[in-house]
Structure 1
Amino acid sequence: MKHKPPSERDSKTCPVCGRPFLWRKKWEKVWPEVVYCSDRCRNARRTRSEAEENLKTN
């Protein structure tokens, strides 16, 4: 991918915190698979969904 200024980079919105995040070089090959803006949000989502499942079963 050719260098783009930050204002022209692709962006997504994190489903956990709702904040937008921009394309990063380290995500170049996996950008379609990137869903969360950070490890913290990815872990929070996993924890939240497990808690919801436990409430449904009890």
Structure 2
Amino acid sequence: MASGLFVGLATLDVVGYVDRRPDVDEKVEAADMWTGAGGPATNAAVTFRTLGGTRDC
């Protein structure tokens, strides 16, 4: 089995769902929200693990 260590940019993605697109300078309340990990290093690590790799810790 291959092992890997990924170093780089990791982000927290926050997505707000709205019922309609707001007009210019208008605020709307989100109907729902989703958060998840993102960024190139995180995406590479998730793909590596999905393909059968193991973590190197």
**Is the pair's TM-score, using the shorter chain for normalization, greater than 0.5?**
no
Q: TM-score, normalised by structure 1?
A: 0.29
TM-score normalised by length of structure 2: 0.29
Higher helix share: 1
Kindly name which structure, 1 or 2, has the bigger radius of gyration based on alpha carbons.
2
**Relative contact order higher in (CA < 8 Å, ≥ 6 apart):** 2
